[in-house]
């Protein structure tokens, strides 16, 4: 089972030992961030720093002239990834014998939402989610597609992994986050993810819904949640219980169609810009109404569009099964394992996790994250990969 480790450019730039250390884990590939959201990251082995603060979502290479005159365009990085930090890191990793693929975060950008407020998801209460661009808006879609094509196809890259290519919702660890006071079940999360920007309001109308009435229904359905009622469980039936089957289906029809066409268009744009044989994967969840970094997709559809998927396996291998059930022998189904113990990962259980993932149809593994992991975590990862 081929394995790839996620890496940031700042893990490598300025640390001449990093490429060989990553290669020594036994991975064949690295998935290197080329466009990434804001973050604060630990670098426990870097000779010059321990904490990197990426102040806003940015591209980690110099963007080209395609953005000239466009209102929505990517932001260059600051001193956390100056110049062509991606290119510098990619060259060093390739010199260590590693295949380098790009890691591109798309519909997750707080600075875009802060500076262009109208691009954001708006919930049923009128609150904006500046971290979550509404993927139904034509200008935002055009920006995301162009960003995907530019950030994915960096010199020397053998493929890309597109994260957040779909709807984003409420869940987001913001600075000094204080949103956990009332626990939200899966159904409430879906209702809080419904967008009511002008484009989405019109979209609901196309599905036979009145947007004002829908927003009122959402608020009414959520009121018991705010009062402390227990969650109504998980699964689509819980959404239907809160909103009604017909209304729920209409919202999902609008949102599923928006996500599908965006994914199709973005993958086509990457392929048009890429050399022959360039691999395109999406970070994905097999339930279409799920939102976030691994947005929901229809397994049959997405495996007809992209070369494969990267699937979260922190809670076990179950999400792999719907993709494997499509029986596409050429599809990549990569199981994504967190391997940073202090962040909830289980590097000591990685060997067993790889075995279970393989049984559920995984063809490759992804390891999150080689730069954030402790030395002990990396030793456990190396031991697990040696036993594949």
Q: What does the block give as tokens for 280?
A: 């395109």
109-147 pLDDT, tens digit per residue, is 999 999 999 999 999 999 999 999 999 999 999 999 999
Q: Is the pLDDT of residue 310 over 90?
A: yes
Length of the chain: 388
Give the pTM.
0.97
341-351 residues labelled b (16+ CB within 10 A) or e (exposed): eeeebbbbebb
Q: State the CB neighbour count (10 A cutoff) for residue 119.
A: 24
Phi, psi of 86 (to 5 degrees): -60, -50
Q: Where does the pLDDT of residue 243 fall: very low under 50, low under 70, confident under 90, or very high at 90 and above? A: very high
324 vs 132: CA distance, rounded Å: 30
Q: CA Rg, the chain, in Å?
A: 21
Helix (H, G, I), strand (E, B) or coil at 303: helix
Is 338 within 8 Å of 314 (Cβ atoms)? yes
Candidates 145, 122, 146, 149; CA nearest to 133 is 122
344-354 pLDDT, tens digit per residue, is 999 999 999 99
259-282 pLDDT, tens digit per residue, is 999 999 999 999 999 999 999 999
pLDDT given for residue 376 in this prediction? 98
Instruction: Break the chain into its structural domains and give their ranges.
Output: 2-178+258-386
Mean pLDDT value of segment 280-292: 97
Q: Is the pLDDT of residue 194 over 80?
A: yes
**2-178+258-386 has which fold?**
TIM Barrel (3.20.20)
Q: What does the block give as tokens for 5?
A: 């480790």
C-alpha dist (Å) from residue 318 to 52, 189, 288, 335: 34, 21, 15, 10
Candidates 271, 272, 282, 352; CA nearest to 107 is 282
Q: Where does the pLDDT of residue 172 fall: very low under 50, low under 70, confident under 90, or very high at 90 and above? A: confident
Mean pLDDT computed over every residue of the chain: 96
């Amino acid at each position: 089972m081929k394995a790839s480790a996620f890496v940031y450019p700042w893990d490598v730039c300025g640390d001449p030992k990093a490429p060989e250390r990553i290669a020594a884990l036994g991975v064949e590939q690295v998935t290197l961030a080329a466009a990434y959201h804001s973050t604060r990251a630990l670098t426990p082995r870097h000779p010059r720093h321990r904490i990197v603060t990426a102040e806003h979502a940015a591209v980690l290479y110099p963007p080209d002239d395609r953005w000239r005159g466009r209102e929505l365009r990517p932001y260059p990085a600051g001193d956390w990834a100056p110049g062509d930090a991606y290119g510098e890191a990619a060259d060093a990793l390739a010199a260590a014998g590693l295949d380098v693929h790009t890691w591109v975060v798309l519909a997750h950008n707080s600075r875009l939402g802060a500076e262009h407020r109208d691009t954001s998801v708006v919930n049923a209460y009128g609150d904006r989610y500046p971290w979550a661009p509404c993927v139904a808006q034509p200008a935002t879609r055009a920006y995301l597609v162009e960003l995907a094509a530019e950030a994915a196809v960096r010199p020397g890259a053998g493929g890309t992994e597109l994260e957040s290519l779909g709807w984003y919702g409420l869940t987001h660890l913001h600075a000094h986050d204080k949103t956990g006071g009332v626990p939200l079940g899966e159904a409430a999360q879906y209702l809080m993810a419904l967008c009511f920007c002008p484009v989405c309001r019109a979209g609901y109308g196309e599905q036979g819904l009145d947007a004002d009435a829908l927003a009122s229904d959402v608020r009414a359905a959520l009121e018991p949640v705010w009062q402390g009622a227990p969650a109504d469980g998980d699964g689509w039936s819980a959404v239907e219980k809160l909103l009604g089957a017909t209304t729920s289906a209409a919202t999902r029809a609008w949102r599923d169609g928006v996500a599908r066409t965006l994914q199709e268009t973005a993958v086509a744009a990457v392929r048009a810009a890429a050399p022959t044989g360039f691999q395109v994967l999406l970070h994905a969840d097999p339930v279409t109404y799920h939102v976030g970094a691994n947005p929901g997709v229809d397994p049959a559809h997405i495996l007809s569009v992209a070369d494969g998927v990267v699937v979260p396996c922190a809670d076990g291998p179950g999400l792999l099964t719907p993709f494997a059930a499509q029986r596409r022998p050429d599809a990549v189904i990569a199981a994504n394992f967190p391997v940073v113990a202090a962040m909830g990962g289980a590097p000591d259980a990685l060997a067993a996790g790889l075995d279970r993932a393989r049984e559920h149809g995984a063809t490759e593994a992804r390891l999150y994250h080689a730069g954030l992991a402790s030395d002990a975590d990396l030793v456990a990862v190396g031991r697990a990969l040696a036993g594949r």
